[in-house]
Amino acid sequence: MAASGSAGVLGAAVNVSEVSAEDIPVTEKEKGLVFLFQGDSITDGNWGRNIKDLNHILGHGYVFAVGSRLAADFPNAGFVFHNRGISGHKVTDLEDRWEKDTLALKPNVLSVLVGVNDAGANIHNRKGKYDTATFEERYRGLLRQCKEANPQILFVLGVPFIYRIAGQAAVWEAWERWERELPPLAEAVKKLAKEFDAVLVDYPAMFERAAKSAPLNHWTWDGCHPTIAGHELMAREWIKHVSVRLPFLKKYNYN
């Protein structure tokens, strides 16, 4: 974000040159934002399917870390948080439940992390496998539906990732195929982020930086699913990048 100011997702400008990061307000247009997180098991985090059980509602992962932080630090903003990630899901699975689990929730900020199961379906010759072009077109269709429902929606697209971790034989044995199958899907996500003016969160780049300070198995226990440390990094990375579009998140100063 430029020092002279930036526009929020709903068009509210903040002159950040005149205030400290801690003082950037939640604007009236940003109050009541609905944040929805979609994707697979990394997002799922075993979130509570009983919507009355608010003790478990966002699950145990980066979604919880983002939601709890914002809800506690901006208690008067009226933010709403939903987790609808489902373990094992591919972009076609999201497509099957998009009306109920996305459009009906009317998100203002939609965060999506998907792709590793799509690659895995091809690698392991599972039912429902498809190529990169299909992945991209189906993903594009989902975003278009949201854009038609709310032209002001802010998309946050996460780049999928996987790593070789000692003891995880399934990934090691198919590593050459993972190296072929997943990068094209990651590139498709980056392409869509540009096309839809989305915030791109490059989780692979983040984990590669983190691996310089501690082994990868400190951040992801099986090469795909993060540890508690990895989920915390994901939450910080999410907030850092989204703060470019929602300036009040500069409060956290994650550089």
HEC states along 45-63?
Answer: CCCCCCCCCCCCCCCCCHH
Q: What is the pLDDT of residue 169?
A: 72
- List, in sequence order, every residue forming a beta bridge with 6; answer none if it has no partner: 14
Which ranges of the chain have pLDDT less than 50? 1-8, 11-19
pTM exceeding 0.75 = yes
Q: What is the pLDDT of residue 13?
A: 44
The Cα 41–Cα 201 span in angstroms is 17
Helix/strand/coil percentages in the chain, nearest 5: 45, 10, 40
Q: What is the pLDDT of residue 38?
A: 98
Q: What is the pLDDT of residue 171?
A: 80
Q: What is the pLDDT of residue 49?
A: 82
Q: What is the pLDDT of residue 18?
A: 45
- Residue closest to 255 by CA, chosen among 64, 21, 18, 73: 21
**For the structural domain made of 6-252, what CATH number should be given?**
3.40.50.1110
- Residue closest to 155 by CA, chosen among 113, 100, 196: 196
Q: Find the Cα–Cα–Cα–Cα dihedral 178, 95, 149, 48, rounded to 10°.
A: -90
Tens of pLDDT, residue by residue over 82-100, are: 999 999 999 999 999 999 9
Q: What is the pLDDT of residue 2?
A: 33
What DSSP assignment string belongs to 198-213? Answer: PEEE-HHHHHHHHTTT
Tens of pLDDT, residue by residue over 180-204, are: 999 999 999 999 999 999 999 999 9
Q: Report domain extents, the chain.
A: 6-252
DSSP category for residue 220: B
- List, in sequence order, every residue forming a beta bridge with 77; answer none if it has no partner: none
Helices (H) and strands (E) in the chain, counts: 11, 7
Backbone angles phi, psi at 200, to 5 degrees: -100, 125
CA angle in degrees (0–180, nearest 5) for 131-135-139:
170
Q: What is the pLDDT of residue 242?
A: 98
